[in-house]
Amino acid sequence: MSESPEEVVLYWRPGCPFCTKLRLSLFGSKLRVRQVNIWKDPAAAAYVRSVADGNETVPTVDVAGKALVNPSRRLLMRTVRERAPHALTG
């Protein structure tokens, strides 16, 4: 559902402790990521349901077309290095 097939999009919702943990762990990581609140974007919520067995499981991250449902920071960064290294600055 990313606007660009090469971008990294993190789908989240307010009050989600797993989202907060992942978002905080990315602070200072030099990863360019677009963050989308699924409670404000019905299309984003539909995308998350489409890749998470019908559930609105967040965080869900789309890395250049590959969906990661509730990924660890380690898995996310490994996937970014493999599929979207351009999203890492510096």
> Model's pTM, two decimal places?
0.92
Give which of 36, 29, 34, 13 is closest to 77, Cα–Cα: 29
Going along the chain from its start, the domains and CATH numbers come out as: 8-84 (3.40.30.10)
How is residue 28 annotated by DSSP?
T
**CB count in 10 Å sphere of residue 31:** 18
- Residues 47, 70 contacting (CB under 8 angstroms): no
For residue 2, pLDDT over 60 is answered with no
**How does pLDDT run across 53-83, given as a tens digit for each residue?**
999 999 999 999 999 999 999 999 999 999 9
**How does pLDDT run across 3-58, given as a tens digit for each residue?**
566 789 999 999 999 999 999 999 888 999 999 999 999 999 999 999 999 999 99
